[in-house]
């Protein structure tokens, strides 16, 4: 029996807050079900132009990548907002050179 899609968006997997090491990649995922879904990603309050899928890829992050990332999931019936906090850390080696 086929699955019936919900009229309104339902978020099944929220993006996860966490830390990423400076220069590494990070992926944020917002999985949702519903009819005719649209995804819009924001960093803090700024819309990330062109980021319209359920997955946001941040490549080779800099310290400026730290912040609150929001995903707005919407269709003609409703919209939902979910978010995650990303911290960028710089790992310093304490190994001594001989």
> The pTM is what?
0.85
Q: Give the Cβ contact number of residue 41 at 10 Å.
A: 22
Q: What residue ranges define each of the domains in the chain, with the CATH number in brackets?
A: 10-89 (2.60.40.10)
User: pLDDT at residue 1 above 50?
Assistant: no
DSSP letters spanning the chain: -PPPPPSS-EEEEPPPPEEEETT--EEEE-EEESSS-EEEEEETTEE-TT--SSEEEE-S--GGG-EEEEEEEE-SS-EEEEEEEEEEE-----PPP-
pLDDT for 42-60, tens place per residue? 999 999 999 999 999 999 9
The angle formed by the CA atoms of residues 48, 65 and 73, to the nearest 5 degrees, is 35
């Amino acid at each position: 029996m086929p699955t019936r899609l919900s009229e309104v968006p339902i978020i099944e997997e929220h993006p996860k807050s966490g830390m990423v090491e400076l220069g590494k990649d990070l992926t944020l995922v917002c999985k949702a079900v519903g009819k005719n879904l649209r995804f819009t990603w924001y960093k803090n309050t700024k819309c990330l132009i062109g980021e319209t899928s359920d997955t946001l890829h941040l490549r080779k992050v800099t310290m400026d990548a730290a912040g609150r990332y929001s995903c707005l999931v919407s269709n003609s019936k409703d919209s939902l907002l979910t978010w995650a906090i990303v911290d960028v850390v710089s790992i310093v080696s304490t190994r001594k050179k001989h």
